[in-house]
Amino acid sequence: MSAFILFVGVSVAVFIIIRKMVSGARCKSKAKLHGKTVIVTGSNTGIGRETAVDLARRGARVILACRSQVRGEVAVAIVKRESRSSNVVFMQLDLASLKSVRTFAETFLKTEKRLDILINNAGIYMQGTTEDGLGLMFGVNHIGHFLLTNLLLDRLKECAPSRIVTVSSKLHESGNLDFSLLSAHKEFGTGDSFFDVLWIYSHSKLCNVLFTHELAKRLQGTNVTCYSLHPGVVNSDLVRHSRPVLRNIMKPIAAVFFKDVEAGAQTTLHCAVQEGIEGLSGQYFSNCAVNKVLPKARDDAVAKKLWEVSEKLCGLS
């Protein structure tokens, strides 16, 4: 009996220590955001919803930009309850449709006066095609956010100092951008195998880092700053479209060894509100600190090319 109690005690202690270790650094800023407006894309669940709760608690008006009206409205109720703020609204945005991105931006600019922080958080991990015939991961994770950011840029400039935060991933390190593949397939990779999907996702996350790199240059002197980041390995629902066998194997592992979504929101929050990081515009963060990226993730020529190709693909040039 006492051996059993000892076993349980040690197990609980080990679990608590592991959870403490995986949870990572926390956003230390106490910044309040009364009178400020924030957009969080993909905020009906996961890291995005936790980000929205924290920003609403700080007093911001928070726009949940989500593709599903039903899931978005449910999330509004949850965010309001958890933040004890009533200043939370849903606005429909499907990043897999350029038309939807344009409609969202028009509606937003017409009905809202300010934009202080734009958080490009939404992401998808599955193969497919967007309404406009782009690869789904390239289209949603990069192009949709590229167009959205550009359409909202003037408002961000008017409200400066303001920020643009784009949630990338450490997996961007295994990405690479083959522009000839892109012109042939409107995606930086092809195939449906486990590794194909992982790779295509990585390419899209490299786009997030290079987009932020180029954007920072274009924003010099405007007091609008931008950041990309890795949220950590987070126990969200991101892989909900992958095979059930894999998901079931991962579930118990994720519950112990992955960050929970609240911990996963900390680096996004750091980039969104931490005082004094304006000089680090264009950089990539992890665990609430700047991380040096590989040369391919700060290549000026590739970043510029990606920008120009992206402009063409969403009809901005």
Ligand X SMILES: NC(=O)c1ccc[n+]([C@@H]2O[C@H](COP(=O)([O-])OP(=O)(O)OC[C@H]3O[C@@H](n4cnc5c(N)ncnc54)[C@H](OP(=O)(O)O)[C@@H]3O)[C@@H](O)[C@H]2O)c1
DSSP string, 99-126: HHHHHHHHHHHHH-S---EEEE-----S
Three-state SS at 39: strand
Query: What residues line the site for ligand NAG (CB under 6 A)?
Result: 160, 221-223
Rule CB under 6 A: is residue 67 a binding residue for ligand X? yes
Catalytic residue, candidates 125, 201, 227, 284: 201
> From the list 85, 121, 228, 286, which residue makes contact with ligand X (rule: CB under 6 A)?
121
Number of H helices and E strands in the chain, helices first, is: 12, 8
Rounded Cα gap, residues 215 and 145, in angstroms: 12
222 binds, among ligand NAG, ligand X, none (CB under 5 to 8 A by kind): ligand NAG
71 binds, among ligand X, ligand NAG, none (CB under 5 to 8 A by kind): ligand X
CA nearest to 33, candidates 115, 132, 147, 90: 115
Rounded Cα gap, residues 98 and 93, in angstroms: 10
Which residues touch 317 (CB under 8 Å, ≥6 apart)? Answer: 308, 311
> From the list 19, 71, 114, 296, which residue makes contact with ligand X (rule: CB under 6 A)?
71
| 65, 39 contact by CB (below 8 A) | yes
160 binds, among ligand NAG, ligand X, none (CB under 5 to 8 A by kind): ligand NAG
Q: Which two tokens stand for residue 214?
A: 């180029």
What does DSSP assign to residue 234?
Answer: B
Identify which of residues 214 and 260 has a Cβ nearer to ligand X in the complex.
Answer: 260
Identify which of residues 92 and 223 has a Cβ nearer to ligand X in the complex.
Answer: 92
In sequence order, the β-bridge partners of residue 224 are: 162
Phi and psi at residue 60, in whole multiples of 5°? Answer: -70, 155
Residue with token string 């080990």: 14
Least distance from ligand X to the Cβ atom of residue 44, Å: 5
Identify which of residues 228 and 281 has a Cβ nearer to ligand X in the complex.
Answer: 228
72 binds, among ligand X, ligand NAG, none (CB under 5 to 8 A by kind): none
Least distance from ligand NAG to the Cβ atom of residue 164, Å: 16
Active site residue 284: no
What does DSSP assign to residue 164?
Answer: E
Footprint on residues 276-315 left by ligand X (CB under 6 A): none
Identify which of residues 68 and 107 has a Cβ nearer to ligand X in the complex.
Answer: 68
Phi and psi at residue 127, in whole multiples of 5°? Answer: -80, 150
46 binds, among ligand NAG, ligand X, none (CB under 5 to 8 A by kind): ligand X
Stretch that binds ligand X, among 19-27, 154-162, 232-240, 270-278 (CB under 6 A): 232-240
Residue with token string 């009905």: 111
Q: Which residues are known catalytic residues?
A: 201
- The binding site for ligand X (CB under 6 A) comprises 41-42, 44-48, 66-68, 71, 93-96, 121-124, 140, 167, 169, 230-231, 233-234, 236-238
